[in-house]
Amino acid sequence: MTGALERCADRLLAFCALVAFAPVFAVVALAILVEDGRPIFFRQTRIGRHGRPFLLWKFRSMRNGLAGTAITAGGDPRITRVGAMIRRYKLDEFPQFWNVLRGDLRLVGPRPEVARYVDLTDPTWRSVLSVTPGITDLATLVFRNEEEQLGGVEDPESYYRLVILPAKLALNLEYLERRTIWTDVKLLFLTARFSLFPRGFEPAMIRRHVLVER
């Protein structure tokens, strides 16, 4: 029953966010359209709970017709000027409130990955995918500046697969073991805080606030 109530609360909050931020969505959509034309939205297949694929929605932040890897590093030439701004403040993620309404995501949960990075035979992955993914989670917040980190390595995709992704999965499991409604609320607050005001962000502080000061 508690799970059902939490899902209903997530959907209600997502609906309120879509309504409240509709003017922001309109401005972002117009800026994308003026700079680089259509489409306004970017959709990508991600792996959800129990390995079920679904379409994740974002505002498009990259130019049309340019090939590249699934990993985005700092300084990626595919990113538009508008795209750089909305990625900095995480505005490109806002359409995912629609995914919450659909039941694909929750507000808080492990971030869903593209299929190429998911190994359903791995017990770690099976544990992470035993819950519904979310818009934000501890790993996402701790690695908020992931693109900058990837921009400083020779092979961003290999570094992501071998270094960053295992660290994220470990944080996913650690958080799931300690998760409470209060830690979810703190994660939502901290995500909003550092999306709007990125200065002063410290990964160690995030871990301390979420995992220790419960």
Residues facing 57 on adjacent strands: 43
pLDDT, one tens digit per residue, over 55-85 is 999 999 999 877 667 788 778 889 999 999 9
- CA quadruple 77, 80, 85, 90: dihedral sign: negative
> Which pLDDT score, from 0 to 100, does residue 71 have?
80
From first to last of its 214 residues, what are the pLDDT tens digits of the chain?
Answer: 467 888 999 999 999 999 999 999 999 999 999 999 999 999 999 999 999 999 999 999 999 877 667 788 778 889 999 999 999 999 999 999 999 999 999 999 999 999 999 999 999 999 999 999 999 999 999 999 898 889 888 899 999 999 999 999 999 999 999 999 999 999 999 999 998 888 888 888 888 888 765 4
What is d(CA 14, CA 106) in angstroms, rounded to the nearest whole number? Answer: 9
| Phi and psi angles of residue 45, each rounded to the nearest 5 degrees, phi first | -75, 125
Q: What are phi and psi of 152, to 5 degrees?
A: -100, 10
Q: Write the single-letter amino acid at 117.
A: Y
What's residue 1's pLDDT? 47
d(Cα 123, Cα 108) in Å, to the nearest integer? Answer: 22
